[in-house]
Amino acid sequence: MPISDPVGKARLLYDARRDRVAIPPFTDDDPTLGMADGYAVQAELVDLLLADGDSVVGYKVGLTSKPMQRMIGVDSPDFAPILGSTAHVDGGTVSLSRLIQPKMEAEIIAVMGERLAGPGVLVTDAARAVAGVCASVEIVDSRFEDWRIGLADTVADLASNGAFASSSRVVPLTEVDPRYVGMTLTRNGELVDTGAGAAALGDPLAVVAWLANTLGERGIALEPGHLVMTGALHAAVPMAAGDVFRADFDRLGPVTLRVVE
Amino acid sequence: MTVDTQALADRLTWARTTRTAIPQLSDEVPGLDLATGYAVQRLQRPGLGRPVGWKLGVTSRAKQRQVGVDAPIYGFLASDHVLDLGEPLTTAEHINPRCEPEIVFVLGRDLAGAHVTTTEVLAATSGVAVGIEVIDSRFTDYRFTMPDVVADNASAGRYVVGAPVHPDGIDLRLVGVVLEHDGDVVATASGAASLGHPAAAVAWLVRALAAAGEGLRAGDVVLSGGLTAAVPVGPGDVVVATIDRLGSLELACR
């Protein structure tokens, strides 16, 4: 049975983003909503945002860790387009005024060098198509009340993507095995958490391959220059105005963001 | 009331040798403090063979906050704790074994003193290596207070160390750490998970040992603190620890 009114649900999320007012999860009313329903709403929402002049600069992949998948009750990741309007500069600021209930995550971004289209993409194909990797922080945000999300909710809500910043140096894979890149996240100089690339599905390049194959089912390809956010390397951290977050990645370098009102 | 430290040490030795978990000592000895814990620990040293080094515990700030302390603890390592490379872990020799990845320091020269710094530790280190520590609490379900776990030699069980590399040019704070259990990535970290820098944890150890009139000797190994949550293991399990720039280590359990 097709989801009831994906356009209306997308409009609710669109308004929630604009007004910065969280809404009740769709799965409250209809617990049977699943992944396909979520993607139907997501597609409508992206159309609305692109009509406002926004752009797709790549994709984020979420639910890449076993604990997150268990929490949501799935055994696969999810994805959503990354909007150009959510890009922030390394060393710059991110304003809470554009977010609802943000949290900070450090992750590795893969930058596509060549077109990559599924099905049948192997991790070795992904490695060949990727120009390199860089350091990033993702700010996740939920347009649903108190982060009370089911799978269909988070998928519809652009996989809870809020904003991101990346370092500028794209390090080629000849210099780095993304699985073993260590990362320390500090807030105001204090260590908050650590992780390594393998936290994302065992290998950030496996995330790129999964994404290419999943997009391929929808007739979409990863294009040169597209960014792929490969998934958090640690549990998301709450953020407040005045916080300075720095994610330092071995072999990739740091990325820093200051949080302002 | 004076505490009979020898009786407590004997009780822990009995638990270890018979592989029988016991209730925490502090249940019966309400005033048990850290100093008494270390005294009980010291009494168990002769029973485990030749001294080979030290281990650190409670080195994660998150863990310290959770148990309400602001410093790590240490235990001793002796020849009975050693698993040689390639040697399987016989889980039946333990009560409740759990594995965790660690950065292991091998000392190139003696190092002692109440004011030793991280820089001095690195200068005295001849090699760093990936290690897997098998912790094992002699207390039921790992339920203990800090003085209890100190008395129980910081839950030391067994350990295995990979081939050491020279630490020059390696930022041990940032090295990636990946723990796999039966082929699944179960945890990741970077070296900073131990006290912000593993060498800072070793420096803490040297200063703590100085207070007890001891120090590190050339050739000593130091397990600088678990970098992830420990994974419980049983017969047939395989644990792999990989630390970027240091290498990889596989431990089979039977």
Can you give the pLDDT at residue A1?
A: 47
Q: Tell me if B227 and A194 make a contact (CB, 8 A cut-off).
A: yes
What string of H, E and C letters represents the secondary structure of chain A?
CCCCCHHHHHHHHHHHHHHCCCECCHHHHCCCCCHHHHHHHHHHHHHHHHHCCCCEEEEEEECCCHHHHHHHCCCCCEEEEEEHHHEEECCCEEEHHHCCCCEEEEEEEEEECCCECCCCCCHHHHHHHEEEEEEEEEEECCCEHHHCCCHHHHHHCHHHEEEEEECCCCECCCCCCHHHCEEEEEECCEEEEEEEHHHCCCCHHHHHHHHHHHHHCCCCCECCCCEEEEEECCCCEECCCCCEEEEEECCCEEEEEEEEC
Q: Tell me if B242 and A197 make a contact (CB, 8 A cut-off).
A: no
What string of H, E and C letters represents the secondary structure of chain B?
CCCCHHHHHHHHHHHHHHCCCECCHHHCCCCCCHHHHHHHHHHCHHHHCCEEEEEEECCCHHHHHHHCCCCCEEEEEEHHHECCCCCCECHHHCCCCEEEEEEEEEECCCECCCCCCHHHHHHHEEEEEEEEEEECCCEHHHCCCHHHHHHCHHHEEEEEECCCECCCCCCCCCCEEEEEECCEEEEEEEHHHCCCCHHHHHHHHHHHHHHCCCCECCCCEEECCCCCCCEECCCCCEEEEEECCCEEEEEEEC
pLDDT digits (tens, 9 = 90+) for B60-102: 887 888 778 889 999 999 999 999 999 999 999 999 999 999 9
On chain A, the residues whose CB falls within 8 A of the CB of B178 are 179-180, 196, 198
Q: Tell me if B174 and A202 make a contact (CB, 8 A cut-off).
A: no
User: Quick one: which of B51, B46, B105 has its CA closest to B81?
Assistant: B51
- Give the bridge partners for B88, in sequence order: none
Q: Tell me if B185 and A199 make a contact (CB, 8 A cut-off).
A: yes
Q: Tell me if B176 and A250 make a contact (CB, 8 A cut-off).
A: yes
* Chain A residues with a Cβ under 8 Å from any Cβ in chain B: 66, 177, 179-184, 191, 194-199, 202, 233, 248-250
In order of their start, the domains of chain A are 6-260 (3.90.850.10)
For the CA atoms of A232, A236, A240, A244, what is the dihedral angle to 10 degrees? -40
Written as tens digits, the pLDDT of chain A (261 aa) is 456 799 999 999 999 999 999 999 999 999 999 999 999 999 999 999 999 999 999 999 999 988 888 888 888 999 999 999 999 999 999 999 999 999 999 999 999 999 999 999 999 999 999 999 999 999 999 999 999 999 999 999 999 999 999 999 999 999 999 999 999 999 999 999 999 999 999 999 999 999 999 999 999 999 999 999 999 999 999 999 999 999 999 999 999 999 999
Output the domain CATH number for residue B47.
3.90.850.10
Å from A230 to nearest chain B CA? 15
Model-level pTM?
A: 0.94
Tokens of B233: 């293991």
CB A131 within 8 A of CB A112: yes
Domain count, chain B: 1
Q: Is B184 on the interface with A (CB under 8 A)?
A: yes
What is the Cα–Cα distance from A186 to A63, expressed in whole angstroms?
Answer: 23
- Beta strand B51-57 with B221-223: parallel, antiparallel or unpaired? parallel
Can you give the pLDDT at residue A3?
A: 61
Whether residue A119 is preceded by a cis peptide bond, meaning omega within 30 degrees of 0, is yes
What is the Cα–Cα distance from A238 to A154, expressed in whole angstroms?
Answer: 18
Can you give the pLDDT at residue A2?
A: 54
What is the Cα–Cα distance from A27 to A151, expressed in whole angstroms?
Answer: 9
Q: Tell me if A196 and B190 make a contact (CB, 8 A cut-off).
A: yes
ipTM score above 0.95: no
CB B146 within 8 A of CB B69: yes
Q: How does the average pLDDT of chain B come out, rounded?
A: 96
Sheet of strand B184-190, all strands in order from the earlier edge strand to the far edge = B184-190, B176-181, B238-243, B247-252
Gyration radius (Cα) of chain A, Å: 17
Q: Say which of A66, A202, A250 has its CB closest to residue B174.
A: A250
Instruction: Please give the angle made by the CA atoms of A102, A107 and A109, to the nearest 5 degrees.
Output: 115
Q: Tell me if A233 and B185 make a contact (CB, 8 A cut-off).
A: no
Residues whose CB falls within 8 Å of the CB of residue A9, separated by 6 or more in sequence, listed in order? A3, A26, A41, A44, A156
Q: Say which of A177, A181, A202 has its CB closest to residue B185.
A: A202
Full residue range of the structural domain in which residue B236 is found: 5-252
